[in-house]
Amino acid sequence: MSEVQLTVADSAAMHRLGAALAQLCEAGDVVVLTGELGAGKTTLTRGFGEALDVRGTVASPTFVIARTHPALGDGPALIHVDAYRLSSALELDDLDLDLDTSITVIEWGAEMVSALTDSWLEVLIERPTGTPAAADELEQPRLVTVRAVGGRWQPAQLAGLSAAL
């Protein structure tokens, strides 16, 4: 397992980090995002979707649980999942998502991802201690830890993420 820690200055940098992560991924890959409400998970996923050139606006899938954004070109689709209201990996599996031909980004999925795949990227987004949630909260710096679990990614790939910021 390899990991890199990054300081992400603001929402524009979080968006760029999402785009850089998308460049590392291919169909079948899974990325799990963990962080408090308002940490920047959906902003990161918007950058991801833009880099993949997918259809539709990437928005939080809280109420629909999962949203598929088909690719506008030849690349893979983006599946954006909010697993907050799911109680198990079985419920995630019951959504019958096409994980093999898409790149899947799962918010709040750390407890269930190992039932789906044996290799994934884990992204932990932390707000500075004592920083309250507010409308401009993403303009506060974040500490982001990107961890490769399983054998799919090489340490050098993660090390290059800092160049995107």
What's the whole-number mean pLDDT along residues 110-120?
90
CA distances from 161 to 18, 58, 128, 152, 155 (A): 10, 22, 21, 16, 11
Give per-residue pLDDT as tens, 11-63: 999 999 999 999 999 999 999 999 988 899 999 999 999 999 999 888 876 66
pTM of the model: 0.89
What's the whole-number mean pLDDT along residues 108-135?
82
> How many whole angstroms separate alpha carbon 102 and alpha carbon 99?
5
Give per-residue pLDDT as tens, 122-163: 999 998 765 555 545 557 899 999 999 998 988 888 888 988
* Residues near 139 by beta carbon (within 8 Å), at least 6 away in sequence: 10, 11
Neighbours of 105 (CB within 10 A): 30
pLDDT score of 135 = 47
> How many whole angstroms separate alpha carbon 39 and alpha carbon 83?
16
Token readout for 18 is 């999402």
pLDDT score of 90 = 78
CA distances from 22 to 11, 64, 73, 75 (A): 17, 23, 15, 11
